[in-house]
Amino acid sequence: MTAAVGEHQGQIAVVTGAAQGLGLGIAQHLAQRGAEVVMVDRQGEKVTAAAAELTDTGLTVRAACADVTSSDQVHELFRDVAQQDGRIDILVNNAGLGQDVAAITELSDQHWQQVIDVTLTGTFFCCRSAGRWMRRRESGAIVNISSINGINPAALVAAYNVAKAGVISLTRTLALELAAYGVRVNAVCPGPVYTDFNRRVMSQRCESLGIEEDEMIERVRQAIPLGRWGQPSDIAHTVGFLSSPAAGWITGEVVRVSGGLEGVSAAPPKQPLPEDQP
């Protein structure tokens, strides 16, 4: 059994995109430090199973199925949490959607919108709803998961870069607007962590470069000054700190957690132009 003691004792935390990957690691970390965590994901069965596994280890978590792109579902989610638990102390906006690797000149309207909807608009919906509850209690901490791509864009994932840059601006704006109420808002920009999300992007980049996945993984590793890929726990520790009382005088900050990697330009070589375009 994992004893839940620590700086988040008795706090109510909501983590989006918590069925797997970084969100699951963040939910576990906060719960291990005493928070009661609501694990939100649109994959209902998967998040329920993940929550059950953490509960079996003695942690206090529960699953909630919601799609962050639905304004109504997000509104109901936070209303339900606030009614059941009396408050929301921590929100971690982690749900995000990677873009299929494609040049801006080839990017469809639909895929652009889909990535912006989940990654930026979903974060806005959750910030708006939780922000209202936190403002009323004059306390709370929001941590938004952006990316190093939000600071330094990589080629062929424009919608994702723009969405993550938007998350940084949203974070800094909300930090100003909620400061008078004692609510803190910060962003974390992870570097590469080998989750399902990254695996998909890597395999697409391998295809476009004509190299094997192992070679790509090694290239990325070598580009990281600290010489290794990140782990979900690397990100979770920073989120835990930013949402804890120890970070009580930190708001509007953007913290890169990337082994020193500032970004990857990944500019592609010149390609033959499609016949059906100017």
Bridge partners for 187 per DSSP:
144, 254
Cα dihedral 128→131→135→141 (10° resolution): -160
Q: DSSP class of residue 192?
A: -
Q: Near ligand NAD by CB under 6 A, which window of 1-9, 38-46, 169-177, 216-224? A: 38-46
CA atoms within 13 A on the CB side of 274: 6
Element (H, E) at 197: helix 196-209
Task: Give residue for tokens 């806005």.
Answer: 124
181 catalytic? Reply is: no
Q: Does 20 participate in binding ligand NAD (rule CB under 6 A)?
A: yes
Mask of contacts with ligand NAD, 79-118, x by CB under 6 A?
A: ---------------xxxx--------------------x
Q: Does 43 participate in binding ligand NAD (rule CB under 6 A)?
A: yes
Considering the candidates 160, 190, 195, 256, report the single residue annotated as catalytic. Answer: 160
At position 68, the amino acid (one-letter code) is: V
Q: How far apart are CA 72 and CA 79, in angstroms?
A: 11
Q: Does 243 participate in binding ligand NAD (rule CB under 6 A)?
A: no
Q: Does 195 participate in binding ligand NAD (rule CB under 6 A)?
A: yes
Among 8, 17, 161, 236, binds ligand NAD (CB under 6 A): 17
Q: How many CB atoms lie within 10 A of CB 210?
A: 6
Task: Give residue for tokens 């209303």.
Answer: 79
Minimum Å gap between C-beta 68 and ligand NAD is 4
Cα dihedral 116→167→97→101 (10° resolution): 80
Select from 241, 120, 128 the least CA-distant residue to 174: 128
Among 68, 185, 239, 264, binds ligand NAD (CB under 6 A): 68
Select from 34, 17, 51, 7 the least CA-distant residue to 145: 17
Q: Does 154 participate in binding ligand NAD (rule CB under 6 A)?
A: no
By beta-carbon proximity to ligand NAD, the closer residue of 190 and 259 is 190
At position 197, the amino acid (one-letter code) is: F
Minimum Å gap between C-beta 144 and ligand NAD is 9
Among 34, 36, 41, 162, binds ligand NAD (CB under 6 A): 41
Select from 247, 120, 246, 233 the least CA-distant residue to 171: 120
Q: Does 147 participate in binding ligand NAD (rule CB under 6 A)?
A: yes
Minimum Å gap between C-beta 28 and ligand NAD is 13
Among 32, 69, 99, 244, binds ligand NAD (CB under 6 A): 69
Count of residues that interact with ligand NAD, criterion CB under 6 A: 28
By beta-carbon proximity to ligand NAD, the closer residue of 217 and 250 is 217
Q: How far apart are CA 20 and CA 1, in angstroms?
A: 21
Catalytic residue positions, numbered:
160
Residues found near ligand NAD in the complex (CB under 6 A):
16-17, 19-23, 41-43, 67-69, 94-97, 118, 122, 145, 147, 190, 192-193, 195-198
